[in-house]
């Protein structure tokens, strides 16, 4: 399984234009996410899913995931030798919110109605834009459309439908493994024999995916839980349009 204006300043001039937001990191996160979906849900009774074939198990999980209203996803991987972590709450047909971090540079993320917003520490802003910009951007949210530009990759990370459709359809040959316990829940593993990775699907309650574990260069794990739990996504106020950041002439 392959992983995955009112009150706004019109222009800020800095000593240097901001570098694109760590495209390598964001793309690496997406690649890992599309490698397989993880989650959990349901009560404690056996659901009979383990008696099905691997394709049937995955199909059952996909039906549930496609109709989910929300989910929480968290994980940690190694990308290009750098640790990458993410903790996101996704809301169907609206967007998502949470945090991502690379090499100790965390930033907050909100994506709603086609706009992405990010806010990081001074160290984060120095990392992406240099020291002069960091002074001006400290404590500020940055905003950009997710259809194009620096923040476009975030749309795939925080769009629940897009993420689920990709993760549950792109995979190689599947083999059903031996039932085990994952995150305190009995689960049946589906091993992708051609692309690598193991997707665990809950054997109790609704058969939602439980966890993805991947080895190799992009080793790590990702967990989806709190399916259909109440959550909210709200756009930050006073965000600075990233397209208004221009170099000093």
Mean pLDDT in residue range 72-85: 81
Q: Over pLDDT 70: what percentage of the chain?
A: 72
Residue 132 is predicted with a pLDDT of: 87
Residue pLDDT, tens place only, 207-232: 998 888 887 766 788 888 999 999 99
In a domain, 78, yes or no: yes
Phi, psi values for residue 17, rounded to 5°: -75, 150
Cα R_g (the chain), whole angstroms:
19
pLDDT at 45: 59
Residue 38 lies in a domain: yes
Q: How many CB atoms lie within 10 A of CB 8?
A: 12
In angstroms, the Cα distances linking 150 to 3, 142, 154, 213 are 21, 11, 9, 29
Contact (Cβ atoms closer than 8 angstroms) between residue 99 and residue 109: yes
How many independent structural domains does the chain possess? 1
Burial (CB count <10 Å: 0-12, 13-18, 19+), residue 224: buried
Whether residue 210 is contained in a domain is answered as yes
86, 75 contact by CB (below 8 A): yes
Which pLDDT band, with edges at 50, 70 and 90, does 167 fall under?
A: low
Under a CB-based contact definition with an 8 Å cutoff, are residues 34 and 195 in contact? Answer: no
Mean pLDDT for the stretch of residues 130-134: 87
* 232 membership: H or E segment, kind and range: none
CATH code: domain of residue 202 = 2.50.20.20
Mean pLDDT of 86-114: 90
Angle between helices 54-66 and 160-167 (to 10 degrees): 170
Q: Return phi, psi of residue 231, to 5°.
A: -150, 170
> What average pLDDT score do residues 11-28 get?
42
Domain that holds residue 113: 12-242
Minimal CA–CA distance to 206: which of 53, 39, 69, 89? 39
The answer as to whether 4 is a domain residue is no
- For residue 5, is it within any domain? no
Quote the pLDDT of residue 204. Answer: 93
On whether residue 119 sits in a domain, the answer given is yes
pLDDT greater than 50 at residue 22: no
Is the pLDDT at 90 greater than 70? The verdict is yes
């Amino acid at each position: 399984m392959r992983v995955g204006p009112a009150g706004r300043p019109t222009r800020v001039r800095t000593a240097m234009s901001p570098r694109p937001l760590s495209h390598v990191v964001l793309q690496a996160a997406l690649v890992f996410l599309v490698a397989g979906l993880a989650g959990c849900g349901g009560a404690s009774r056996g659901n009979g899913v383990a008696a099905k074939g691997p394709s049937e198990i995955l199909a059952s999980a996909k039906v549930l995931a496609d109709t989910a209203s929300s989910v929480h996803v968290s994980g940690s991987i190694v990308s290009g030798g750098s640790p990458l972590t993410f903790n996101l709450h996704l809301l169907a047909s609206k967007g998502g919110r949470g945090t991502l971090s690379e090499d100790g540079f965390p930033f907050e993320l909100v994506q709603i109605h086609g706009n992405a917003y990010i806010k990081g520490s001074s160290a984060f802003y120095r990392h992406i834009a240099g020291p002069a910009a960091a002074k001006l951007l400290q404590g500020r949210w940055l905003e950009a459309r997710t259809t194009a530009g620096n923040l476009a990759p975030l749309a795939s990370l925080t769009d629940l439908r897009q993420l689920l459709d990709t993760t549950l359809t792109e995979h190689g040959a599947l083999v059903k493994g031996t039932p085990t316990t994952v995150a305190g829940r009995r689960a049946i593993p589906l091993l992708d024999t051609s692309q690598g990775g193991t997707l665990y699907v809950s054997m109790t309650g609704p058969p939602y995916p439980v966890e993805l574990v991947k080895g190799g260069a992009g080793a790590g794990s990702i967990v989806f839980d709190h399916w259909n739990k109440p959550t909210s996504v709200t756009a930050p106020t006073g965000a600075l349009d990233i397209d208004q950041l221009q170099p000093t002439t």
